[in-house]
Chains A and B, each alone.
Chain A
Amino acid sequence: MIIDLGLTDYEQAYRAQLEFVARRKLGEIEDTLLITEHNPVFTIGRTGSKESLLVDEKVLAQKGIKVLSVDRGGDITFHGPGQLVAYPIIDLKASLCDLHRYLRYLEEAVILFLKRYSVAAGRITGKTGVWVQGRKIASLGIGASGWVTYHGLSININVDLSFFAMIYPCGMKSVETISLNRILGKNVAMDEAKRIFVAYFQKVFNLGDICYRDRRKTQVA
Chain B
Amino acid sequence: MTDVKLPVLAEGVNKATVAYWHKSVGDAVKEGEDLVELVTDKATFNMPSPASGVLKEVLISEGAEVSVGQLLARIE
Contacts and interface: CB of A to CB of B under 8 A. Distances in A.
A37 to B, nearest CB: 21
B48 A146 contact: yes
Q: Is the interface of A mostly helix, strand, loop or mixed?
A: mixed
A100 B43 contact: yes
Interface residues of B, number: 21
Interface residues of A, number: 23
Contacts of B20: 71
Given A46-B19, A146-B32, A99 B43 contact: yes
Contact of A99 (B19, B45, B48): B45
B19 A146 contact: no
Interface string A123-157: 00000100000000000111111100000000000
A100 B41 CA distance: 8
A102 B10 CA distance: 9
A100 B10 contact: yes
Interface string A169-187: 0000000000000000000
A74 B47 CA distance: 18
Given A46-B19, A145-B34, A103 B41 contact: yes
Given A73-B39, A103-B41, A98 B46 contact: no
Nearest to B8: A97
A73 B11 CA distance: 17
A199 B40 CA distance: 29
A194 interface: no
Interface of B: 8-13, 19-20, 32, 34, 37, 39-48
